[in-house]
A = this chain, B = another copy of it.
Amino acid sequence: MGDCRVTFLPHDITVSVPSGESLLRAALEAGVHINASCGGEGVCGKCRVLVETGAVDKGLSERLSQEDIDKGYRLACLTKICEDVSVRIPVETAVDKSVMRLQVTPRRTATIQHPDFESLKEEGHFIPPVEKVYLELPPPDSQNNMPDVTRLIEYLKLEANEHKLELTLPVIRKLAKVLRENDFKLTLTLVRPVRDDGKTLILNIQGGDVTAENYAVALDIGTTTVYGQLIDLSTGKCLAEAGDFNDQISYGEDVITRLIYAEKPGGLEKLQEVVVDTINGILKRVFAKSEVDRENISTITLSGNTTMTQLLLSIDPSNIRRAPYVPTATLYPPFAAALIGIDINDHVIALVYPQVSSFVGGDIVAGVMGSGMYMHEELTLFLDIGTNAELVIGNRDWLACTACSAGPAFEGGGIEFGMRAAKGAIEDFSLDPVTFEPMIFTIGDVRPKGICGSGLITMTAVMFEMGIINNSGTFNRELGTPRIRKKNDVWEYVIAWKDETQIDRDIALTEPDIENLIRAKGAIYSGCMTLLEEVGLTLDMVEHIILAGGFGSYIDLEKAMTIGLLPEIDPDCVTFIGNGSLMGARMSSLTNRIRKDVFKVTQKMTNFELSETPSYMDNYIAAMFLPHTEIEKFPRLNERMKVRKKQNKVSIAD
């Protein structure tokens, strides 16, 4: 699957896309508009393009006449690119090149940041908190009949330079038998101390040399979903992974309803039990996918937000939702995972990510640790966007964090046709700057069912930049397109007509939808502003943005900056780490440095309760525009808007 160059004419814009990509998506990448309303099923027939040079695959449809096909016309949504091609977009209306330039910025998602094992190895930090060591002991005789435990410890000192050791009763119970059944050859599982002067715990013993078989399970306990990975501690590789909805969903969709349920008699016990059921289901699947013996699991590293963590550990979370929002604990001791019901061998030790506060939890700390943010000099904004958005700003010297309630808009909540990022969700969007006809992309390339968060952001950004909505999110009522209409006293833009959808209704974006989005993005942006103001800095000083959470993978960065969700920085300086919580859990299974550093990092993470920070409300009100009251904070957008205004005048003058 090499890259192919696709040139769009008459725009004369060329992009590189992987071979096999559809022409429609290539156009989106290029920022070239092609009308398309059916989500890529080839039924609307609007995305007719002429392939001038180069070979393509598919793209034929009964929507095209034989004559058109013979000429080289294809439906862009169905056409797969096989080599370098040149494609002409039939321009239905008279537009010149200057108008073409009015099109919005090309699609640009964040660079994906993978766990960096190589630099870990180079820096000598590829030392898992739980290691295996092989030892051959001399058997006892009458001259040397020291106790088995003493023999073990003495030889660990001599042969492996291991000192300050401690061990548990279960290990002592197994020792005599393991030694005698294996000719006094054994593999020890050692838990490294957090402090250099701490003790090393002998967690498990096995006969013979099984040092090569050392595995961990990394778990992200999310409010909605739980993910698990089986990690090979020798290579850092993920051998198997699985995810599932958190069974707690049956007892409440979000954190607050779970907290309320936990206060009912037996509620905490029930929630603990069901999330453990979810975890055990995931373990079953990852073990089924791999050849790994559970006896060779050394550790379970896990992270979750404060509520998820307290529920999993049977710690009453009732004070989390009550002012002054006090969590019971933010640091947890290591414990035997089996003790809380996890279906794993008794020796396996659970290491839980610490929290910062009731609303900045271990999932965020895991992201900060796993991404390495806490080690770098550059001023970084870490952003995990969901119903609650958590923000961390800082660098290796200082860190400030907060959580703000963004509301459910980014997950499709409170949006007329909003939906989660699932099959049929409109996730990307473009507009013809003249006809205002849309080009839509759905997850799964099927007919649209609704709009997900990333679609919502892009639509709003595109419409704002094209002047279809103003900076308050109000539709321009004078554009003369039937797509902008008033229905039930609410203005809206129809994205897909009834017969192009799966739901047999027009799918539209309404002004209240845009208001909700503005509130959501305003909460996050003003949260970032407030944090920085509290430390005497401003958002334009941010050098790196790390996006975490499922949401961040789809988001079009320029569009997010256009609506003022993200501060405007070079998109190259934005990275996406995916599930930061899972990444952090995985990284912490591979390097004990995280355990050594995390306590200091969480202490360094100054937590702000926005409701207690007076400047927050002012910042919030100022952020209730697209992109913001002060557009000067977004210089690139400001420049584009100026050009567009000038061009519009030219265009109209034409």
Decide: A147 near B325, CB < 8 A? Known: A142-B609, A315-B172, A609-B142: no
Contact between chains at A330 and B168 (CB < 8 Å): no
Contact between chains at B142 and A324 (CB < 8 Å): yes
With an 8 Å Cβ cutoff, the count of chain A residues facing the other chain is 45
How close is A35's CB to chain B, nearest CB, in angstroms? 54
Decide if A333 is an interface residue (CB 8 Å cutoff).
yes
Decide if A112 is an interface residue (CB 8 Å cutoff).
no
A330 to B167: give the CA distance in the assembly, Å: 12
Stretch of A25-33, A173-181, A248-256 on the interface side: A173-181
- Could you give, for residues 148-190 of chain A, a 1 whenever the CB lies within 8 Å of some chain B CB and a 0 otherwise? 1110000000000000001111001101110010000000000
Residue of B175, B180, B612 touching A142 (CB-CB under 8 A):
B612
A331 to B149: give the CA distance in the assembly, Å: 8
Which chain A residues (131-150) contact chain B, with CB distance < 8 Å? 140-150
Contact between chains at B176 and A330 (CB < 8 Å): no
Residues of B within 8 A of A332 (CB): 169, 172
Decide if A1 is an interface residue (CB 8 Å cutoff).
no
Q: SS class of chain A's interface: helix, strand, loop or mixed? A: loop
What are 15 contact pairs spanning A and B, CB under 8 A?
A140-B324, A141-B324, A145-B324, A147-B326, A148-B319, A149-B328, A149-B330, A150-B329, A150-B330, A150-B331, A169-B335, A172-B328, A173-B328, A176-B318, A176-B328
Q: With contacts A144-B324, A147-B326 known, what are 8 further pairs, Cβ within 8 A?
A: A140-B324, A141-B324, A150-B330, A166-B333, A172-B332, A173-B316, A176-B315, A176-B318
- Could you give, for residues 295-330 of chain A, a 1 whenever the CB lies within 8 Å of some chain B CB and a 0 otherwise? 000000000000000000111101100011111111
Decide if A197 is an interface residue (CB 8 Å cutoff).
yes
> CB-nearest residue of chain B relative to A166?
B333
Number of copies of this kind of chain in the complex: 2
> CB-nearest residue of chain B relative to A199?
B198
Contact between chains at B333 and A147 (CB < 8 Å): no
> CB-nearest residue of chain B relative to A153?
B331
Contact between chains at A148 and B333 (CB < 8 Å): no
Decide: A147 near B313, CB < 8 A? Known: A166-B333, A169-B335, A172-B332: no
Residues of B within 8 A of A315 (CB): 169, 172-173, 176
Contact between chains at A169 and B325 (CB < 8 Å): no
- Identify the A interface with B (CB < 8 A): 140-150, 166-169, 172-173, 175-177, 180, 197, 313-316, 318-319, 323-333, 335, 339, 355, 357, 609, 612
Residues of B within 8 A of A141 (CB): 324
Contact between chains at B197 and A329 (CB < 8 Å): no
Decide: A148 near B329, CB < 8 A? Known: A173-B314, A324-B142: yes
How close is A300's CB to chain B, nearest CB, in angstroms? 15
> CB-nearest residue of chain B relative to A145?
B324
> CB-nearest residue of chain B relative to A356?
B147
Decide: A172 near B329, CB < 8 A? Known: A142-B609, A197-B197: yes
Residues of B within 8 A of A197 (CB): 197
Residues of B within 8 A of A319 (CB): 148, 176, 180
Decide: A147 near B329, CB < 8 A? Known: A197-B197, A315-B172, A318-B176: yes
A339 to B144: give the CA distance in the assembly, Å: 33
Residues of B within 8 A of A612 (CB): 142-143
Residues of B within 8 A of A147 (CB): 326-330, 355, 357
How close is A317's CB to chain B, nearest CB, in angstroms? 9
Contact between chains at B173 and A313 (CB < 8 Å): yes
A323 to B145: give the CA distance in the assembly, Å: 9
A435 to B142: give the CA distance in the assembly, Å: 54
Decide: A148 near B327, CB < 8 A? Known: A319-B176, A609-B142: yes
Contact between chains at B169 and A333 (CB < 8 Å): yes
A295 to B141: give the CA distance in the assembly, Å: 47
Decide: A609 near B145, CB < 8 A? Known: A169-B313, A173-B316, A176-B319: yes
A381 to B314: give the CA distance in the assembly, Å: 54
> CB-nearest residue of chain B relative to A167?
B333
Residues of B within 8 A of A167 (CB): 333
